[in-house]
A and B are shown apart, each in its own frame.
Chain A
């Protein structure tokens, strides 16, 4: 009886010992994980893709699905060689071998090809895949055109004031102060105008796009108000000089008012052409 109890005690001791060391060993071994992103050949993430991870040594299979961002993660893996198999509706199954090291988070991103590919539609990989540089060009163009638009609208304020003060700046009964006010407002208009024009001219072009609709009218009018914005201050400076000398405005300087009115009208029409869609 005592001998049996002794044997049972030894066996129990061995069991407790084995159990005691196996828990930490197991916890240490299954601390690895495998994760990644599943994308299509076009670069878009693939949600709800079925991801299967098979341990090639033990045959143990673990399965999961990608989330809405195409991410998957399989945790608590033993280190070793695995077969990673990814399948999704409308795509060919992709299989890859992955080595998972002990205690690490292994990343394995997978690209899925469709049953039908874009090449089947005659679309080359270059046409299918854009670049961050293409997007940066678009962003830059959009940003520069927004600055062009804002500065252009701001320039309209001193432009209107310049036209309003022109009645006091010209003619026989004009004072020096009126001319200086007109000159200062005209200069402010010119500065804002050319800053606005800079952003429109320097905005990077996007290949494969053409001007359509009212923007064509907007661009055509620039061929009138652009030269007008150069010519008007030149003629204005000559007229200013003549008036300052006590002379009557004569020669080409007499065209200052007419050129300014045409320029201001074309500029106004240019703003209207993109403000109201027909």
Chain B
């Protein structure tokens, strides 16, 4: 009777353990966009990103969202102009989704396929290299996403009739914690 009970218990619990869900929470983040103009360079920083990862059966889905208006370039006039140019009134969030195998957390460099939604457009960025460092309970992820204005159908703003460059790389520094 006891053997049958143990066998039944094992049959019920083993599959559940094998497919156990785990979660990741984004604790801190610094996202920095870089805009180049022939006359000057500008950076805007946001620490307002929210993120979550859910792992199931060895596969993890991550979602990160950051409000467009949270980027601070040190000049609110420029930030408001940026908000207008990137259609931030209609599309107030930038979201990034990625799907990774759970064992990617053991690698120093992760190659991730990112789906970025920004300014009402969705773009896929394949094989983006992200550096991965584990510090105690925290996992640090660093990398640069090579966004461009044309990918998101954004007209380049001009200064003294000269447009900014099409490339707006976004440097990403994130601290994740497994729950």
Contact = CB atoms under 8 A, between A and B. Distances in A.
Contacts of B40: 277
B95 A45 contact: no
Contacts of B69: 206, 208-209
Interface stretch (B80-88, B103-111, B135-143, B167-175): B80-88
A213 B75 contact: yes
Interface residues of B, number: 41
A130 B152 CA distance: 17
A137 interface: yes
Interface centre among B69, B76, B88 (most CB of A within 10 A): B76
A80 B72 CA distance: 54
A121 B51 contact: yes
Contacts of B120: 43-45
B75 A206 contact: no
A138 B61 CA distance: 34
Contacts of B74: 212-213, 277
B76 A46 contact: no
B129 interface: no
Contact of A211 (B65, B67, B76): B76
A142 B89 contact: no
Contacts, number: 131
B88 A130 contact: yes
B80 A134 contact: no
A42 B80 contact: no
Given A42-B95, A89-B99, A215-B75, A121 B50 contact: yes
Interface residues of A, number: 47
A120 B26 CA distance: 12
B76 A116 contact: no
B79 interface: yes
Interface of B: 40, 50-54, 61-63, 65, 67, 69, 72, 74-77, 79-81, 83-84, 87-93, 95, 97-99, 113, 115, 117-118, 120-122, 124
Interface of A: 40, 42-48, 70, 89-90, 114-118, 120-123, 127-139, 141-142, 145, 206, 208-215, 274, 277
17 contacts: A42-B117, A44-B91, A48-B124, A116-B53, A122-B50, A123-B65, A128-B93, A130-B90, A130-B92, A131-B90, A134-B90, A136-B89, A138-B83, A138-B88, A139-B89, A206-B89, A215-B76
